[in-house]
Structure 1
Amino acid sequence: MKIRRVVFNFHLYIGLAAGLFLVLSGLTGSMIVFREEIEALLHPELMEAAVNGERVPLQTVLNAVSQAYPDDTVFSVRMPRTPKQTYLLKMNEPHGLFVYADPYNGELLGAHRQEDTFIGWVALLHTELLIGERGKTILGVSALLLICMSITGFFLWWPPNGKGIGKFARGFKVGWSAPWKKVIFDLHRASGAYTIVFLMIIAFTGVSLVFNKTMVELTNFLTASVPRPVPPHSDPLGAAGMIPPLDDLLHQADSILSGPTTWINLPQTPRAPLVVRKKMPEEFHPNGRSFIYFDQYTGEVLRIENASAAPSGTRVYNLFYPLHIGVVGGTFTRILQVIIGFSPLVLFVTGYIMWRNRTKARAYKPGCFIN
Structure 2
Amino acid sequence: MPSISTQTLPDDSSSVASRNYRILWRWHFYAGLFVMPFLMVLAITGAIYVFKPQIENLLYGDMLHVAANSQPRLAYGKLLGIAAGALPADAAPTSVSVSADPSRSTEAVFRLPSGDSTSVYLDPYSGRLLGMLSVEHRLMKQVRQLHRDLLLGRWGGWLMELAACWTLVMLGTGIALWWPRKQFAVWGTLLPRLGLRGRAVWRELHLVAGIWVSIGALFFILSGLPWSSFWGKNFQALVTWAGASQPKAVAKAPPAHEHDMSAMADMPAMKMQELPLANVPWAVGATTVPQSHQTPQQALDIDQVVEIAARSGMATYQLALPAKSSGVFTASYAPGAGEFVRSDLDRQRTLHIDQYSGKIVKDLRFADYNPVSKLVTLGVALHMGEYFGLANQLLCAAISLALLGMALSGFVMWWLRRPQNSVGAPKRVLQPPPSITRWKGYLALLGILFPLMGASMLAVWLGDTLLFRKRT
TM-score under structure 1 normalisation? 0.85
Secondary structure, aligned partner of 1:297:
coil
- Aligned-pair CA distance for 1:57: 1.8
Q: How does 1:53-72 map to 2 (within 5 A)?
A: 53-69=71-87, 70-72=89-91
Partner of 1:237, secondary structure, is coil
Distance 1:148 1:75, change over 3 A: farther
CA distance in 2, matches of 1:44, 1:287: 28
- Give how far 1:270 is off: 4.2
Q: Does the CA-based 8 Å contact 1:76-1:91 persist in structure 2?
A: yes
Matches within 5 A, 1:137-152: 137-152=158-173
C-alpha change, 1:21 and 1:310, in structure 2 (3 Å) is same
Q: Which amino acid aligns with 1:89?
A: A
Q: Using a 3 Å threshold, how does the CA distance of structure 1 residues 259 and 159 change in structure 2: closer, same or farther?
A: farther
CA distance in 2, matches of 1:349, 1:188: 9
Q: Structure 2 unaligned segments of length 5 or more: list them.
A: 1-17, 247-286, 423-472
Q: What's 1:77 paired with?
A: 96
- What displacement does 1:286 show? 7.1
Which SS does the other structure have where 2:294 is aligned?
helix
Q: What SS does the aligned partner of 1:277 have? A: strand
- Please say if residues 56 and 103 of structure 1, whose CA atoms lie closer than 8 Å, have aligned partners that are also in contact: yes
- Alignment equivalent of 1:103, drawn from 95, 115, 124: 124
Residue pairs, 1:103-122, within 5 angstroms: 103-114=124-135, 116-122=137-143
- Counterparts in 2 of 1:353 and 1:243: CA distance versus 1, 3 Å: same
3-state secondary structure, aligned to 1:63 = helix
Residue 215 (str. 1) matches residue 235 (str. 2): yes
Which residue number in structure 1 is paired with residue 106 of structure 2?
87
Distance in 2 separating the partners of 1:245 and 1:83:
23
Aligned to 1:328: 387
Q: Deviation per CA, 1:170-213, whole angstroms, max 9, x where unpaired?
A: 32222353102111111111221121111111111211111433
Structure-1 separation of matches of 2:194 and 2:291? 66
Q: Conserved in 1, the CA contact under 8 Å of 2:118 and 2:135?
A: yes
Over the aligned positions, Cα root-mean-square deviation in angstroms equals: 3.0
Q: Percent identity?
A: 22
Which residue does 2:441 correspond to in 1?
none
Residues 132, 85 of structure 1: CA spacing in aligned structure 2 closer, same or farther, 3 A cutoff?
A: farther
Tell me, in whole angstroms, the C-alpha distance in 1 between the residues paired with 2:384 and 2:236: 19
Larger % of helix: which? 1
Match of 2:302 among 246, 257, 267: 246
| Corresponding residue for residue 367 of structure 1 | none
- CA distance in structure 2 between the aligned counterparts of 1:22 and 1:284, rounded to whole angstroms: 26
Q: Aligned in 2, Cα 1:165/1:321: closer, same or farther, shift over 3 Å?
A: same
Q: How many residues align?
A: 355
Q: 1:267 and 1:132 mapped to 2: Cα distance?
A: 27
Name the SS for the 1:291 alignment partner.
Answer: strand
Q: What amino acid is the match of 1:216?
A: Q
Once residues 334 and 414 of structure 2 are traced to their aligned partners in structure 1, the CA distance between those partners, rounded to angstroms, is 48
Instruction: Please report how far the alpha carbon of residue 276 of structure 1 lies from its aligned counterpart in structure 2 after TM superposition.
Output: 0.6
Conservation of the 8 A alpha-carbon contact between 1:265 and 1:276: yes
The answer to whether 1:24 aligns with 2:41 is yes
State whether residues 285 and 319 of structure 1, in contact with CA within 8 Å, keep that contact through their aligned partners in structure 2.
no
Residue from 244, 260, 275 that aligns with 2:330: 275
C-alpha distance after superposition, 1:321-350 (max 9, x if no partner): 202112223221211111111122211111
The CA distance in 2 between the partners of 1:243 and 1:117, in whole Å, is 34
Distance 1:27 1:17 in 2: 17
The Cα shift of 1:265 comes to: 1.6
Deviations 1:299-327 (A, max 9, x none): 22101111123222322232232021122
Shift of 1:95: 7.3
Q: What residue ranges of structure 1 are gaps of 5+ in the alignment?
A: 364-371
Distance (whole Å) between structure 2 residues aligned to residue 242 and residue 264 of structure 1: 20
